[in-house]
């Protein structure tokens, strides 16, 4: 066993260089508030404005003034003089479209006075911005007199060198108003909407590297930072723990979306693990304590509450389905037992949250073959809706009914700072994200849903970004507002399980899977490699067998590689094909290392064959902890004909010599190449060239010699017969015997 572990450690060390692309650093994401407004067409961008603080985030009757703070930076090549800032607001937003395009709304209904920022800024210099404006009053205030969601513009003016006074930068912010000082407050709906929130606990990317020696190896130690106090995953769990400590209503609205791979990795980290450094060394990881604390927190949070398990490593099910990768897909979907083992809860069955908000028809049918699926699809992808959710999907022919519960793209996209997709009638639109921002747009969208959208009842299913980067304070803002909406009666907490259990009340003809969705999925070259490597792994498994001399099961030996392939098609790699390819290539290298441990031993000297049927001795070494059946193949060589291929079982961690019967048809020295494979054809080890010396004539040579001997005997017999006959007849000698006188 020591020999096996030493070999495996050397193998892992040798593969570190290939794994290097997997260890990418993630800089901390800045979270400015609001969306930048583009400069006037034709004018250069001379300044950048970043709004960092908005106080308060929600206007109520207790709010007397609004304060905005941030920073401006001269990004041009000219000095900027006389910099001033003011706030402007527009009319309450009355449609989803207006809320989604808040940066395009007019903001001239109320304008504050300009306040000084800086006398001048040289190129590259920055200055702080701070402005406070009363909510109500006369001129130069925001003059907000009624509830609603308002477009608020932070406008910075200045004078470029060699230019006129002009707007240099602006940021648009949606400002929700539930009530105003000494004024009206928003009215509750007769049937408040039910709010359900998916709370994603997914790592930024898979980090565990496949090993075959039982050790836990990570590509970097970034997960330790994420799990520690102040880290992203820590904040996601701790914020919920704090916000729900004394509020069971808020907890009822949450459903935790968890990744079995992340939970398993964290559990293994708590027991100790290794990390590959940028220089290729293996060092002890530093996150064991943080991993233990985070896993305990998640176990406490999820106990008795809704849990949705995404596929293992959040695998791209559409890419796997299109590639026909049944094995990896089944492995990804069958990982809910990991969640049950580590959290002690049973995740929701047959409930799926697709990356990008949609599955293609083939994937839907594949899921229906497993069980009756419920898909949490983006409402913008639903086609020809009729009735109310949940919906039955009528456009597929499947073994089980397929249903969908739509997520609310208005709130979900706002939390991701994505420009909201138009309705289907509006046609395509750019959906490029402007980057990570605060949850202010999401707060405004949620308030709009709860009080101002004109709809009665229904469900608001919120699906934040799968790898949410909002800060702790931003997450707390979102949960606090949601809790306040419940407390004030503007919304109710609707558990996801309860929403799913409602009988279907409508139909949709299908879920649109657009060209943009297809482009985003894991690329075909990557999935083709996954298919090839998976087939090789399965063939290797078929050639392996248990052995009572070791306690290693072949399936357990190769399982890390199969899970590694699933990590290679994680949705975390969408848009990063090179990293996906590197993850898959690493698995291939580990598998190659295993195959190379079954090899032919080169004797290092010529072998002599004493006869025409002398067998060739071939010694095979098996460095694996499981028995392997190998097929010994000899290359075609003139003068040597091997018998049928030999399938030979080789014990674990041992060598065995097989004698390959051959027929030699000539003498002399020649070479023969010997290669190993599984019975299924997977190459093992390297090809070894043997030198052979044959002192045998072989069967053909013997036959030729024997025939020549028989002919010679016959000729001699004929000669003797002629002489005897001539002597008896007394005749003259034959011409060849006459001697001239």
Does residue 390 have a cis peptide bond before it, meaning omega lies within 30 degrees of 0?
yes
Q: How far apart are CA 147 and CA 181, in angstroms?
A: 11
Q: How confident is the model at residue 65 (pLDDT cuts 50, 70, 90)?
A: very high
Closest residue by Cα to residue 634 from 680, 676, 685:
676
Position 726 confidence tier, pLDDT thresholds 50, 70, 90:
confident
Instruction: Band the pLDDT of 401: cuts 50, 70, 90.
Output: very high
Cα separation values, 127 from 47, 77, 162, Å? 11, 16, 21
* Structure tokens belonging to residue 346: 């049973």
**How many Å apart are CA 494 and CA 99, to the nearest integer?**
25
In 498-626, beta strands by DSSP E: 505-508, 510-511, 544-545, 598-600, 607-609, 616-622
Query: What integer pLDDT is reported at residue 660 of this predicted model?
Result: 79
- What SS3 state is found at 130? strand
Within 8 A by CB and 6+ apart from 562, the residues are 327, 328, 331, 534, 537
Quote the CA–CA distance of 546 and 72 in Å, as a whole number: 68
Whether the CB-CB separation of 53 and 137 falls below 8 Å is answered with no
CA gap 549, 96 in Å, rounded? 69
Spatial separation of the C-alpha atoms in residues 736 and 734, rounded to whole Å: 5
Sign of CA dihedral 289, 293, 298, 304: positive
Has residue 18 got a pLDDT over 70? no
Architecture of the domain delimited by 35-177: Sandwich (2.60)
Is 379 in contact with 433 (CB distance < 8 Å)?
Answer: no
Q: Are 172 and 152 in contact (CB under 8 A)?
A: yes
Distance, CA of 702 to CA of 683 (rounded, Å): 38
Closest CA to 309 of 289, 332, 290: 332
Q: Do domains 35-177 and 598-696 have the same CATH topology?
A: yes
Beta strands in 551-626 (DSSP E): 598-600, 607-609, 616-622
Q: Quick: pLDDT tens for 112-161.
A: 999 999 999 999 999 999 999 999 988 899 999 999 999 999 999 999 98
The whole-number average pLDDT for the span 640-645 is 69
Is pLDDT above 70 for 10? no
Mean pLDDT score, 400-413 = 96
Q: Alpha-carbon distance 244 to 248, whole Å?
A: 6
Evaluate whether 223 touches 269 at the Cβ level (below 8 Å): yes
Give, in words, the CATH class of 598-696: mainly beta
Distances (CA, A) of 687 to 34, 602, 655: 64, 10, 17
Cα–Cα distance for residue pair 624/601, rounded to 1 Å: 15
Place of tokens 């409930």: 351
DSSP 155-191: EEEEEETTS--EEEEEEEEEEEESB-TTS-BPPPPSS
Please state, in angstroms and rounded to a whole number, the distance separating the CA atoms of residues 702 and 698: 6
606's CB contacts (< 8 A; 6+ apart) are 669, 690, 691, 692, 693
Q: Which of 411, 414, 395 is nearest to 403 (CA)?
A: 395
CA dist 486 → 212, 446, 499 (Å): 51, 12, 17
Output the CA–CA distances (angstroms, integers) from residue 737 to 723, 733, 734, in the order listed: 11, 6, 5
Q: Has residue 13 got a pLDDT over 90?
A: no
Three-class DSSP category at 338: helix
Which strands sit side by side in the sheet containing 47-55, from one edge to the other? 47-55, 65-74, 126-134
Dmax (CA) for the chain in angstroms is 161
**119 burial level (CB within 10 Å; 0-12, 13-18, 19+):** exposed
Do the bridges between strand 351-352 and strand 374-375 make them parallel or antiparallel, or are there none, so unpaired? parallel
Average pLDDT of the segment spanning 717-740: 63
Backbone φ and ψ of 145, nearest 5°: -115, -5
In this structure, what DSSP letter does residue 364 have?
H
Ordered by start, the domain boundaries in the chain are 35-177, 194-424+434-520, 598-696, 699-733
Residue 27 exposed, middle or buried by CB count within 10 Å (0-12, 13-18, 19+): exposed
Give residue 695's pLDDT.
67
* Cis preceding-peptide flag for 276 (omega within 30 of 0): no
pLDDT of residue 304: 94
**What's the token pair of residue 288?**
């064991």
* Tokens, residue 132: 């406070």
pLDDT score for 416: 87
Backbone dihedral region for residue 148 (phi beyond 0: left; psi -120 to 50: alpha; all else: beta): left
Judged against a pLDDT cut of 80, whether residue 188 lies above it is answered with yes
- Indicate the pTM of the whole model: 0.85
Q: 359 and 375 in contact (C-beta within 8 Å)? A: yes
Q: Taking Cα atoms as reference points, which of 264, 267, 265 lies closest to residue 219? A: 265
Indicate the average pLDDT of the chain: 87
Q: In terms of Cα–Cα distance, which of 707, 688, 671, 488 is closest to 599?
A: 688
Indicate the length of the chain as a whole number: 741
pLDDT at 644: 65
Model pLDDT, residue 31: 64
- For residues 636 and 91, what is the distance between their CA atoms, to the nearest angstrom? 86
How would residue 736 be classed by pLDDT, with cut points 50, 70 and 90?
very low
pLDDT at position 603, please?
Answer: 80
For residue 116, CA distances in Å to 10, 17, 587, 677 come to: 65, 55, 59, 79
Q: At 423, is the pLDDT very low, low, confident or very high (cuts 50, 70, 90)?
A: very low
- For residue 581, count other CB atoms closer than 10 A to its CB: 18
Q: Over the stretch 486-532, which tens digit does the pLDDT of each residue have?
A: 999 999 999 999 999 999 999 999 999 999 999 999 999 999 999 99
600-635 confidence digits (pLDDT tens): 988 877 776 655 567 778 899 999 999 999 999 888
Q: What is the mean pLDDT of residues 562-585?
A: 96
Q: Measured in Å, how far apart are the chain's first and last C-alpha atoms? A: 97
Angle, alpha carbons 213-218-220 (nearest 5°): 150
Q: What is the mean pLDDT of residues 37-41?
A: 65
**C-alpha span between 650 and 476 (Å, rounded):** 61
In CATH, the number for domain 194-424+434-520 is: 3.20.20.370
Q: Which two tokens stand for residue 34?
A: 């609001």
Paired residues of 73 in beta bridges: 48, 126
């Amino acid at each position: 066993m020591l020999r096996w572990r030493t070999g495996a450690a050397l193998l892992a060390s040798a593969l570190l260089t290939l794994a290097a692309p997997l260890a990418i650093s993630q800089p901390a994401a800045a979270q400015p508030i609001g969306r930048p407004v583009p400069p006037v067409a034709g004018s250069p961008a001379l300044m950048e404005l970043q709004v960092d603080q908005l106080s308060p985030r929600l206007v109520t009757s207790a709010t007397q003034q609004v304060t905005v703070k941030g920073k401006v930076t001269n990004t041009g090549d000219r000095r900027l003089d006389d910099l001033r800032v003011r706030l402007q607001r527009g009319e309450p937003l009355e449609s989803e479209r207006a809320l989604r395009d808040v940066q395009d709304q007019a903001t001239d209904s109320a304008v504050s006075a300009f306040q000084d920022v800086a006398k001048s800024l040289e190129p590259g210099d920055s200055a702080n911005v701070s402005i406070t404006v009363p909510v109500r009053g006369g001129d130069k205030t925001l003059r907000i007199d009624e509830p609603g969601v308002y477009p608020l513009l932070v406008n910075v003016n200045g004078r470029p060198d060699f230019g006129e006074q002009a707007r240099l930068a602006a940021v648009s912010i949606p400002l929700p108003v539930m009530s105003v000082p000494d004024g009206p407050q928003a009215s509750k709906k007769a049937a408040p909407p039910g709010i359900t929130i998916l709370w994603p606990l997914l790592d930024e990317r898979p980090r565990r590297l496949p090993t075959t020696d039982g050790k836990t190896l990570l590509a970097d130690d970034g997960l330790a930072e994420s799990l520690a106090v102040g880290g992203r995953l820590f904040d996601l769990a701790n914020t919920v723990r704090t916000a729900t400590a004394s509020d069971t209503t808020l907890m009822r609205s949450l459903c935790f979306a968890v990744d079995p791979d992340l939970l398993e990795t964290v559990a293994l980290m708590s027991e100790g693990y290794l990390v590959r450094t940028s220089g290729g060394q293996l060092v002890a990881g530093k996150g064991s304590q943080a991993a233990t604390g985070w896993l305990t927190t998640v176990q406490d949070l999820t106990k008795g509450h809704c849990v949705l398990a995404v596929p293992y490593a959040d695998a791209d099910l559409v890419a796997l389905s299109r590639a026909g990768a049944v094995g990896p897909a089944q492995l990804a979907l069958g990982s809910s037992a990991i969640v049950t083992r580590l959290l002690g809860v049973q995740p929701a069955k047959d409930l799926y949250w697709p990356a990008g908000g949609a599955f293609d028809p083939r994937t839907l049918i594949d899921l229906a073959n497993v069980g009756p699926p419920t898909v949490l699809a983006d409402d913008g992808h639903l086609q020809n809706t009729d009735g109310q959710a949940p919906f039955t999907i009528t456009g597929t022919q499947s073994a089980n009914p397929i249903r969908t519960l739509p997520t609310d793209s208005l709130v979900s996209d706002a939390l991701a700072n994505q420009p909201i997709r138009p309705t289907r009638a509006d046609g395509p639109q750019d959906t490029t994200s402007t980057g990570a921002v605060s949850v202010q747009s999401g707060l405004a969208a949620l308030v709009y849903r709860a009080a101002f959208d004109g709809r009665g009842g229904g469900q608001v299913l919120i699906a934040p970004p799968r790898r949410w980067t909002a800060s702790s304070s931003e997450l707390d803002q979102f949960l606090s507002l949601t809790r306040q909406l419940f407390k004030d009666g503007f919304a109710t907490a609707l558990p996801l399980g309860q929403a799913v259990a409602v009988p279907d009340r409508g139909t949709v003809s299908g879920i649109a899977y657009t060209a943009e969705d297809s482009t985003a999925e894991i690329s075909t070259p990557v999935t083709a490699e996954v298919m090839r490597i998976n087939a090789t792994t399965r063939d290797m498994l078929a050639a392996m067998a248990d052995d009572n001399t070791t306690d290693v099961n072949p399936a357990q030996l190769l399982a890390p590689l199969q899970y590694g392939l699933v990590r290679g098609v994680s949705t975390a790699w969408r848009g990063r094909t090179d990293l996906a390819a590197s993850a898959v290539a690493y698995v291939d290298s580990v598998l190659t290392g295993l195959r190379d441990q079954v090899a032919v031993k080169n004797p290092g000297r010529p072998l002599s064959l004493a006869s025409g049927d002398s067998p060739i001795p071939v010694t095979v070494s098996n460095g694996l902890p499981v028995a392997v059946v190998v097929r010994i193949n000899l290359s075609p060589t003139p003068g040597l004909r091997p018998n049928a291929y030999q399938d030979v079982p080789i014990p674990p961690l041992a060598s065995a010599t097989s004698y390959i019967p051959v027929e030699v048809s000539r003498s002399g020295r020649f070479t023969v190449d010997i290669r190993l494979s599984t019975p299924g054809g997977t190459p093992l080890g390297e090809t070894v060239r043997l030198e052979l010396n044959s002192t045998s004539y072989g069967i053909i040579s013997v036959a030729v010699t024997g025939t020549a001997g028989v002919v010679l005997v016959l000729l001699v017999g004929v000669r003797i017969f002629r002489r005897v006959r001539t002597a008896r007849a007394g005749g003259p000698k034959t011409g060849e015997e006459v001697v001239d006188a």
